[in-house]
Structure 1
Amino acid sequence: MRSFGNLVWNEWLKMFKKRSFFLPYLLLAGAVILVAVMLYNFSGGDNGYGFAEMAVSTRGMGQMLTLLAVVVTAGTVAKEHSMGTIKLLLIRAQSRTKILASKYTAILIYVVTLVAFMLAVSVLTGQITFGMENGSATLNDVLQGSLYNLVYTVVYVTLTFMVGILTRSSGAAIGIGMFSVIVESMVVQLLARYSWSKYLLFLNVDLSMYSGGGSSPVPGMSLAFSITVLAAYLLLFLGAGFVTFKKRDVA
């Protein structure tokens, strides 16, 4: 267990030493503050929690967080191949499965820190800008929105992680990952009329559709159903990635 923890720590240090490590945090903070100022000046906004709920949700600025996480994830494995460092990595005594798992774990930790950071910045900015008067949202709503956004981001990050392994191209991983996020709502609108579409990733990935008594795009769906479908897709993505990484010749 200690050896795996060391691998995760090494992967985290690799990410931390990059000059771009803090860029997503700065972009998220800047976007939250900018939107807060604009809403305050032009519409008055809701209470602080109402603003924070909007900021962290997948239908608000939460999708920006997902796109940034996709960009970071894309090069995790692909750049090891392009730079030739993958050979040095695989000559260690650790198994390929453990090495790849450590990379994925480090990415998940990074995603969690992004979500937690955006949650904190959104709540703080909302309270400073709009105050704590009664409004349409509570802290519980903000926490729930952050949890939904965490699941949303993890799914797309895992998809990007798999594509990076299969293609060994960070460009392809970024392109497919970002394209999937961007076209998601369009796919939902086009295919929601078909009953079989409830098994598609895009129609299940945004769990916030169930909050506040909301309805699913296709009859027969529920929160438990969507979680089960997402779990199946995650297993598929990870299975394809790990099997490919384990069997691929990097000589």
Structure 2
Amino acid sequence: MRNFMALVHNEWLKMSKKRSFFIPYAIIAVVAVGLAWALKHWGGEMLGTASDYTIMMAGTTGFGQFTAMLAVIFTAGLVASEHGMGTIKFLLIRGQSRAKILASKYVAALLFALSLIVWLNVICFAAGAVWFSTDLPSGALRDILITAGSTLVYSIVYMTLGFMMGVLTRSTGAAMGIGMAAIVLSGITIPKNFYKFMLFPNANLSVYNHGGQPPIPGMTLPFSIAVLAVYIVLFLGASFVTFKRRDIA
């Protein structure tokens, strides 16, 4: 376990040393603060509290969707870039199994996605506290946590898809493109019964908040969670099988 955590720590260090590492955080901060200012001055009485602003911004129908794209963009090349630079060979000769190496990269990607969602909610609430009321209506904290959790699941699903494509194609561009295209296509709903078993209509769990209607009749929160779990297992299974069997030379 200690060796695995060391691998995860090493992957995080490699990510954080990139010049582009803090760009997603900066983008989130600029947009969150700028939009809060704009809504305060030109939005009238649209929003009343910092919690309202946080829930609006952090949801998958708000800036949370773009945050998921940022997670996909930054993590899609974790494996593909190692192949491109030839550094993957050095990782494999250090006595660690391929499964551990790939798992450490995926865990580092999960931590990055989590950090983006936490940062998004913190900076949105802070900006909202400056421009709006700091009152917390009943249930506001619960709604913020539910929104953050839904956005995190949404980000993880598409990040895992991009991660798999990076392993399968060894191309950072392909992994980014497919991951981002999937996020864009997630807004499309086909009103057919078979479509409820597809990834896209199930990824946004926020539709179930406050008894909301699912995109297709017959879908429920447990159903969507089960479908997402199956897809994530399939994505990771394909990633690990391919990575373990592929000739690195």
TM-score norm. by structure 1 comes to 0.96
The aligned amino acid for 1:127 is A
Per-residue CA deviation, residues 109-158 of structure 1 (Å, 9 max, x unaligned), is: 11111111111111111111111357697122111101100000000000
Q: Which runs of no fewer than 5 residues in structure 1 stay unpaired?
A: none
Kindly report the root-mean-square deviation, in angstroms, between the aligned alpha carbons of the 2 structures: 1.3
Distance in 1 between the 2:139 and 2:31 partners? 21
Equivalent residue for 1:200?
198
Equivalent residue for 1:108?
110
Q: Contact conserved, 1:48 with 1:130, CA < 8 A, in 2?
A: yes
User: Would the alpha carbon gap of residues 12 and 133 (structure 1) be closer, same or farther in structure 2, given more than 3 Å must change?
Assistant: closer
Query: Equivalences for 1:1-251 in 2 at 5 Å?
Result: 1-44=1-44, 45-46=46-47, 47-133=49-135, 138-186=140-188, 188=189, 191=190, 193-251=191-249
Once the two structures are aligned, what percentage of the paired residues are identical? 49
The aligned amino acid for 2:10 is N
Per-residue CA deviation, residues 3-29 of structure 1 (Å, 9 max, x unaligned), is: 001100100100011111111000001
Distance in 2 between the 1:100 and 1:51 partners? 38
Distance in 1 between the 2:16 and 2:218 partners? 44
Q: Contact conserved, 1:50 with 1:137, CA < 8 A, in 2?
A: no
**Further displaced range: 40-49 or 140-149:** 40-49
Q: Contact conserved, 1:49 with 1:137, CA < 8 A, in 2?
A: no
Q: Which runs of 4+ in 1 moved over 2 A?
A: 132-137
Instruction: Give the number of aligned pairs.
Output: 247
Q: Which runs of no fewer than 5 residues in structure 2 stay unpaired?
A: none
Per-residue CA deviation, residues 35-92 of structure 1 (Å, 9 max, x unaligned), is: 1111111113312111110010000010111010001111100000110111111111
Q: Contact conserved, 1:28 with 1:118, CA < 8 A, in 2?
A: yes
TM-score norm. by structure 2 comes to 0.96
